[in-house]
A = this chain, B = another copy of it.
Amino acid sequence: MADGPDISRLAALLGDPARANILTALMAGRALTAGECAAEAGVSAPTTSGHLAQLVASGLVLVSIQGRHRYYRLAGPEVAEAIEAMMGLAARVGLNRTRLGPRDPSLRAARMCYDHLAGAVATELYDALITAGFLAPAPAGLTLTPLGRERLAAEGLPVDTPANSRRPLCRACLDWSERRDHLAGALGAAIAALALERGWCQRTPSSRAVTVTTEGRRQLLALAEPRSAQQLVQPAPQTRHLAHTAGSKQGACNVRRS
């Protein structure tokens, strides 16, 4: 014994249902106020405050104070990935929080998974990208093929790993509702940002759920087609200045339409 990192202290933090609820809610990628966290956790405000203090002290969660609100968010993709890994194993082992059938069908259709899309639409897109030959389930899990690079670069999507980042460009993420993979990593995050930017889908105010329009779904799946013609005809009435900076994830999300 006495080697390696202390996995038990970290796991104990995730092991309380209230804290796990908070972290699961933060997986949606948005910062939540302490009160919203309390609602998600299902416990009182004082109890939530204690839990949040522990999460901040451990470095899993960051807090930014704005006026009399305190916004809590996950510390980074590494934290989200570890939680995803736990979710994947929990789903595989058969630990489901509730019957996941009729509970919230909109969540199964599409939702945010930290900063990328998950759910039925996301697995459809994933499969389409595979069959189109844009993504290859190569050795380490996923590779963007030259064909895919060309097609997606034309949309302004990032096709290279930033040299300074440990985060992979594309990564397969196990979708527990579908039991199949969807696209994560920097590319997955950029596609989600693109879809939100162009109005293909909209976030539900205080939920992980995402509503995808029928046209949006068509456009999303069109990313897996050789360079669709109708997209040139339709000049996208929305603004077009997306994703110039890689760090625009937060900036794109905090346009509150409450």
Contacts and interface: CB of A to CB of B under 8 A. Distances in A.
Nearest to A176: B5
Interface stretch (A9-17, A218-226, A242-250): A9-17
Interface string A151-185: 00000000001000000111110001100000001
B140 A171 contact: yes
Contacts of A11: 11-15, 20, 86
This chain's copy number in the assembly: 2
User: Which 9 residue pairs spanning A and B have beta carbons closest together?
Assistant: A12-B15, A11-B14, A8-B20, A15-B15, A5-B90, A140-B142, A85-B85, A11-B15, A82-B89
Contacts of A235: none
A127 interface: no
6 contacts: A2-B104, A3-B104, A8-B16, A12-B12, A139-B144, A140-B170
A85 B87 contact: no
